[in-house]
Homo-oligomer: A and B are copies of this chain.
């Protein structure tokens, strides 16, 4: 007999079983419908691209996180590690076919060879939505409204959006004479959640001096209300600017939220990535903040700077679907349903095969997801198959039912039989439970 190959999977990769994949598809549909309602259209790009296109010119060194290799034509290629860079390449390539401003969403897998120790995965799904080709603050607003609506349709109301503004932060740093250290300071402040205020203060002191470090710590503190935080920022920047006015406008318009979602002006939010220039944001679940931001993004000055001379400002956001699903599971917010199949049509008597086939066909036509057990076996065996699959109903028809034109339905969870049903009644009974 042949030796078998072990069906093992790469570290940091996962299979998605029906239980998980069904939920993932439901969530993705809700997001797609919401993005569409907000005027966003879907696009897709290749998983593989030229490494030089994904990494830019100065990509000589090997980034350990990137899946990069030479293809059979000896091209230097890489798998996409986010959806933003491909979107920039896409927009530059199709600039003449795309009317601006352009609202696009893209839900797809990305790959990063990250350290897998902390429950991070090397293959994960991102949901990105951006509006490019316009500087208008109304687009900032619409992205934030869409973020709130996206979580609402997923059933998540207890959520806090932490909002900040990179441009205002930089104005403040310039005023303090430490604008040249902006990148280092932003990256240090970004660690606040992880390492705490004392350690951030120590690192900032190293970068600047104790007095400046104190001022930065004061800047990044969230006050009791958004108004107070905003007042402080304006004061520390030396007065109102176009950017503080934009931020004030956004906070005013977002304040009218009728649900439990909150927008908080939190100046310690910086986002590590360099390309943000305006608002930046992160999103935390009120019941599970420790899992990290489940939706982040911001406004950038120029999406396509690597590929084109035309300046294309934009604003966008990204939902980390895998992290979110892990959180929902931890919060018991994922419906425990192992299958999308609602009914097993039991097969008892080979003499009635045509009737079973017709019954299966008719249930499907009526919109009931069902399957016919493929062999005539004892009912308990068929029930236990349905139960192991998580199918909630069994349809039991034998000589009596076919003679009388009735249907017997068994609710397998409640272990209750409903006999003498008409076909329509059986459909209703099963559909009721589906809701």
Cβ contacts A316-338/B at 8 Å (1 or 0 each): 00000000000000000000000
Q: CB-CB < 8 A to A41: which residues of B? A: 18, 21-22, 339-341
Pairwise interchain contact B25-A32, C-beta atoms closer than 8 A: yes
Does residue A416 face the partner (Cβ distance < 8 Å to B)? no
Binary CB contact string for chain A from 129 to 158 against chain B (1 if under 8 A, 0 otherwise):
001001010110110010001000000000
Within 8 A of B (CB), among A312-370: 339-341, 357, 361, 364, 367-370
Let me know if B57 and A43 touch, CB within 8 A.
Answer: no
Q: Are A3 and B364 in contact (CB under 8 A)?
A: no
Is there contact, CB below 8 Å, between A374 and B134? yes
Q: Does A178 contact B (CB under 8 A)?
A: no
Report chain B residues within 8 Å CB of A21.
41-44
Q: Check: A375 CB closer than 8 A to any chain B CB.
A: yes
- Most B-side CB within 10 Å, residue of A10, A37, A142: A37
- The yes or no answer to A14 lying at the interface (CB within 8 A) is yes
A413: chain B residues at CB < 8 Å are none
Q: CB of A97 within 8 A of chain B?
A: yes
Q: Which B residues are in CB contact (< 8 Å) with A64?
A: 72
The distance in angstroms between the C-alpha atoms of A17 and B29, with both chains bound, is: 19
Per-position contact with B for A34-68: 1 when CB-CB < 8 Å, else 0?
00111101111111111011001100001010010
Closest CB-CB distance, A343 to chain B, in whole Å?
9
Check B89–A7 contact: CB distance below 8 A.
Answer: yes
Select the residue from A52, A88, A136 with max chain B CB neighbours within 10 A: A136
A273 lies within 8 A of chain B by Cβ: no
Number of residues from A at the complex interface, CB < 8 A: 101
Q: How far is the CA of A94 from the CA of B9 in the complex (A)?
A: 12
Contact B385 A99 (CB under 8 A): yes
Q: Which residues of chain B are within 8 angstroms of A378 by Cβ–Cβ distance?
A: none
State the CA gap A47–B14 with chains docked (Å). 10
Copies of this chain in its oligomeric complex:
2
Q: Answer whether residue A435 sits at the interface, using C-beta atoms and an 8 A cutoff.
A: no
Find chain B residues with CB under 8 A from A180 CB: none
Contact check, B136 vs A53: say whether CB atoms are below 8 A apart.
Answer: no
Tell yes or no: A101 within 8 A of B by CB.
Answer: yes
- Contacts A6-B307, A9-B93, A47-B79 known; 7 new A-B pairs at CB < 8 A: A5-B56, A16-B44, A17-B98, A25-B42, A37-B368, A47-B109, A136-B374
A-B contact pairs, 10 of them (CB 8 A): A5-B52, A7-B307, A13-B46, A13-B49, A36-B369, A37-B368, A47-B123, A67-B71, A138-B374, A139-B374
| Residues of B with C-beta under 8 A to A149 | 364
CA distance A88 to B6 in the complex (A): 12
Using CB atoms, name the residue of chain B closest to A388: B99
B residues in contact with A42, CB < 8 Å: 16, 18, 21-22, 25, 340
Nearest residue in B to A141 (C-beta to C-beta)? B357
C-alpha spacing A287/B246, complex, angstroms: 57
**Nearest CB of B to A359, in Å:** 13
- Contact present for B70 and A45 (CB under 8 Å): no
Residues on the B chain within 8 Å of A307, using CB: 4-7
Within 8 Å by CB of A369, from B37, B48, B253, lies B37
| A388 to B98 CA separation, bound complex (whole angstroms) | 8
- Please name all residues of chain B whose beta carbon is closer than 8 Å to the beta carbon of A29 when the two chains form the complex: 29
Residues of chain B within 8 A (CB-CB) of A38 are 364, 369, 371
Find the B residue at minimum CB distance from A43: B21
Given the contacts A4-B308, A52-B5, A92-B7, A142 and B372 also touching, CB distance less than 8 Å:
yes
Q: Does A418 contact B (CB under 8 A)?
A: no
Return chain B residues, CB-CB under 8 Å to A372. Answer: 138, 142
Q: Are B3 and A99 in contact (CB under 8 A)?
A: no
Residues on B with C-beta less than 8 A from A36 are: 340-341, 369
Q: Check A9–B46 contact: CB distance below 8 A.
A: yes
Give the shortest distance, in Å, between A274 (CB) and chain B (any CB): 15
Asked whether any CB of chain B lies closer than 8 Å to the CB of A111, the reply is yes
Cβ-based interface call for A262 (8 A): no
- Tell whether A103 is near chain B: CB-to-CB under 8 Å: yes
Contacts of A18 in B (CB 8 A): 41-43, 104
Q: How far is the CA of A142 from the CA of B357 in the complex (A)?
A: 9
